[in-house]
Chains A and B, each alone.
Chain A
Amino acid sequence: MSAGAAYRLGEFHSFEGGGRKFLYVVPAGAIFEIDSDAAAVVGELAGKRATREELVAGLMQRDFAYNDAAELIDELAQVRAIVPVHAETEPLEPPPPDFPMQSLVMNLTNQCNLSCQYCYEFGEDKVATPDGKPKFMDIETAKGSVNFLLENSSGRRAVHITFFGGETLMNFPLLKRVVTYANARAAAKSRSIDFSLTTNATLLTPAIIEFLSENRIGVTVSMDGPPDLHNKLRVFANGRGSYDVIEPRVKALIHGHRTRPITARVTLTNGVTDVVRIYRHLKDDLGFHEVGFAPVTTSPDRLYAINEPGMNGVLEQFHILAGEYLEYALRGEMHGFTNVSDTIAELYQGVNKSHPCGAGLGLMGVGPSGDIAPCHRFVDSDTHAMGNIATGVDRAKQTDFLQRGHINNKYECHTCWARPLCAGGCHHEAFVRYGDTGHPNLHYCDWIRDWTDTCLRIFGTISAENPEFLEKFAERKAL
């Protein structure tokens, strides 16, 4: 940088935590704590431009030695808190074409014994077109899927299979065979596979629980809270709520499965937004290790859609649990609110996403027919199929999906400071809302920015007061 170059502020989001000041440098996803001198330079440059000499001279008026002042300016320039006036943000590169797979979601069946009204597989906004396709995956397709994962994940020692449905346990015999087969195949290649399962818990038996525990299969239970909330939409075909059926089974699962944490996954809908009460019940009364929440994916006009005041109420309650999370973290304890942990895990790494998630890239879904989908939410959809296990990935369709979803093509996102984590949001949500998987989810931008800011402040406070706690996130991957 020669003498005459003028600087302006770079692209960052500033926040405070634990009495300290931080910058979240957006084009990188980096987080820096800044001292009061650096903060003063940043404050003075807001909305202006100034040369290096002018900035240094300003500091020397505040009794800085020349070298100290220059060092401060150069530090700010190095992390791009200040940048030359005509610096441009370079577009993110597309992922390499041979990006190795990490996870495969196997929909063992598209059948389910519940009739939850909001289900993205069967509800009013479904994208699946299952007519004429197999209802249950057969062993040949399952083995082909395992081989597909191992062959398309070169360079990764450990890969992951998630069993999904429908109701996954309606095809438990296949699940057992897949685990045996996959472990043998992986071992033969000196690699490892770990497993997880999502279930509505209605079909859990002591034998199944024992199998899951022995094989270290992580379990996520779809559950919406105490009976009055859970039974609103999670019902059998005759309309009867499923709470009473699953409660003893969930307790048995949490008691009997000792090898992996058991998590609950809550779908928030209109009238089921009492986040704190739901959390207390699932965490304290039932004993889940972690509880994660997500608003239902739906067209805005469905009866169960949450309106904007409802979403603001959800956010307020998220803040309450986030405050608790921070208290726990400062004591070195892990709180069970998944939504904070997942965000902290991404902030810890400093992710800067080209795509909102791994769908169609490191993660794919496969349906009972063997059709490959970008993720489990698109399984059995003819529109979104990306090839078949028997014939391989349809690279043209995959490329189209990934190009649509790339942050470079989401113009509305380019001025948003939360884009390194959000990258426009869920492809499936975008398709349901806007009819295009590559459309940014503009209906929750304010929400995402508020939540990201909340988690940044938590992160900053922990980094100031109990930094060792953050090392817990070195290995954690947000799902």
Chain B
Amino acid sequence: MKHLRAVNKKARRIEHMDPAIRPQSERHSDDDVVALQNQPNQAPPPRPHVPMGCALAFSPGWEVDSSGGTAGLCQPVERDIYDCYVTCFWPAQVPDHLNNYPDWAGKCAAATKDWRNLDLVFP
């Protein structure tokens, strides 16, 4: 090293350490999240940012289509609202339809067309 001088034994060990050996937390430090099928040294192919689904369950085709967009979803993107509202046990930021806002979605017959009719609630 030209600008630094190791003055104790530990410093000399660091000086001669293979620079490729880096702590786990510093590897891929500026890469995006990499799925498990990508090998550590294999650069991921360039493509749109793809979220990996709900925190609790992965529903393929639900959030993105095969190209990473939303045009070819097997369910409408508005289905999101009802996945949290009706079918999921996990409390989400949708109105409480059991006690306080039973008619919240009353004017929304088909979510893809009528989602604008969902009521606003002010708890």
Residues in A lying within 8 Å of B, measured CB to CB: 1-2, 4-5, 22, 25, 28-35, 37-38, 71-72, 74-76, 78-81, 83-84, 86-88, 90, 347-352, 459-460, 463, 467
Asked if A33 meets B4 with Cβ closer than 8 Å, knowing A349-B9, A349-B10, the reply is: yes
Q: Which of B22-30, B49-57, B93-101 forms part of the interface with chain A?
A: B22-30
Contact yes or no, B10 A78, CB < 8 A: no
Q: B14 and A5: CB pair below 8 A?
A: no
Chain A residues with CB below 8 A from B26, complex form: 83-84, 87
- Across the interface, name the chain B residue whose C-beta is closest to A5: B30
Please give me the residue from chain A that is nearest to B43 by CB atom: A2
Whether B8 contacts A75 by the Cβ 8 Å rule is: no
List chain B residues, Cβ under 8 A from A83.
26
* Residue B120 interfacial (CB < 8 Å): no
What is the bound-complex CA distance between A299 and B60, given in angstroms?
64
CB neighbours of A32 from chain B (8 A):
4-7, 11
* Residue from A30, A84, A86 in contact with B11 in the complex, judged by beta carbons closer than 8 Å: A30
Q: Is the C-beta of B2 less than 8 angstroms from some C-beta in chain A?
A: yes
- State A79–B13 Cα separation when bound (angstroms): 10
Closest 9 CB pairs of A and B: A350-B10, A30-B11, A88-B25, A33-B5, A30-B10, A84-B29, A463-B7, A38-B3, A5-B30
- A1 and B10 within 8 A (CB): no
Q: Do A79 and B4 form a contact, CB below 8 Å, given A86-B25, A349-B10?
A: yes
B109 CB to nearest A CB, Å? 47
On whether the beta carbons of B4 and A30 are closer than 8 Å, the reply is: no
- The answer to whether B3 touches A30 (Cβ under 8 A) is no
Residues of chain A contacted by B7 (CB below 8 angstroms) = 22, 31-33, 459-460, 463, 467
Q: Give which listed residue, B9, B13, B17, B29, contacts A1 with CB less than 8 A.
A: B29
Known: A30-B10, A31-B11, A79-B11. A86 touches B5 (CB 8 A): no
A35 to B8, CA, bound (A): 17
Q: Is residue B19 within 8 Å, beta carbon to beta carbon, of the partner chain?
A: yes
Q: What are 7 sample pairs from A and B whose C-beta atoms fall under 8 A apart?
A: A5-B29, A28-B10, A33-B4, A35-B3, A35-B4, A78-B1, A350-B10
A28 contact set on B, CB distance < 8 A = 10-11, 14
Q: What is the interface residue range for chain B against chain A?
A: 20 to 34
- Measured between beta carbons, the chain A residues less than 8 angstroms from B15 are 78-79
Cβ contact within 8 Å between B29 and A350: no
B3:A72 contact, CB within 8 angstroms? yes
Q: Is the interface of A mostly helix, strand, loop or mixed?
A: mixed
Q: Shortest Cβ distance from A468 into chain B, in angstroms? A: 13
Report the bound CA distance from A79 to B15 in whole Å.
7
The verdict on A71 contacting B2 (CB below 8 Å), with A30-B10, A88-B25, A350-B10 known, is yes
Contacts A2-B30, A347-B8; A75 near B3 (Cβ below 8 A): yes
Residues from chain A with Cβ under 8 Å of B29 in the complex? 1, 5, 84, 86-87
Query: Taking CB as reference atom, which chain B residue is nearest A38?
Result: B3
Instruction: Determine which of B8, B14, B25 lies in contact with A78 in the assembled complex, contact meaning CB atoms within 8 Å.
Output: B14
CB distance from B52 to the nearest CB of A (A): 20
Residue of B4, B17, B23, B24 touching A75 (CB-CB under 8 A): B4
Which residue on A lies nearest to B17, using beta carbons?
A78
For A20, the closest partner residue in chain B by CB is B5
Q: Judging by beta carbons under 8 Å apart, are A4 and B30 in contact?
A: yes
* Bound CA–CA A184/B9 (angstroms): 36
Find the B residue at minimum CB distance from A462.
Answer: B7
**What chain B residues lie within 8 Å of A38 (beta carbons)?**
3-4
Q: How far is the CA of A359 from the CA of B123 in the complex (A)?
A: 60
| 5 further A-B pairs in the complex, CB-CB below 8 A; given A31-B10, A71-B3 | A1-B30, A25-B14, A75-B1, A79-B14, A90-B25
Residues of A within 8 A of B2 (CB): 71-72, 75
Question: Roughly how many angstroms separate A172 CA and B26 CA in the complex, as a whole number?
Answer: 58
Contact status A350-B11, CB under 8 Å: yes
Q: How far is the CA of A37 from the CA of B3 in the complex (A)?
A: 7
Q: Which residues of A contact B5 (CB under 8 A)?
A: 32-34
Docked pose: A5 CA to B31 CA in angstroms: 9
Q: How far is A1 from B25 in the complex, measured between Cα atoms in Å?
A: 12
In contact, A78 and B9 (Cβ under 8 angstroms): no
Distance A186 CA – B33 CA, assembled complex (angstroms): 57
CB A49 to nearest CB in B, in angstroms, measures 12
How far apart sit A33 and B5, CA to CA, in the bound complex (Å)? 5
Contact mask for chain B residues 86-109; partner A; CB cutoff 8 A; 1 contact, 0 none:
000000000000000000000000
Q: How far is the CA of A31 from the CA of B14 in the complex (A)?
A: 10
Residues of A within 8 A of B3 (CB): 34-35, 37-38, 71-72, 75-76
Chain A nearest CB: distance from B40 CB in Å? Answer: 14
Q: Which residues of B contact A34 (CB under 8 A)?
A: 3-5
Q: Which of A30, A80, A90 contacts B6 (CB 8 A)?
A: A30
**B4 CB → nearest A CB, Å:** 5
A288 to B115, CA, bound (A): 89
- Assuming the A-B contacts A32-B5, A35-B3, are A88 and B11 also in contact, with contact meaning beta carbons closer than 8 angstroms in the complex? no
Most buried by B among A30, A84, A351: A30
A407 to chain B, nearest CB (A): 16
**Complex Cα–Cα for A22 and B11 (A):** 12
Residues in chain B near residue A33, CB distance under 8 A: 4-5, 7
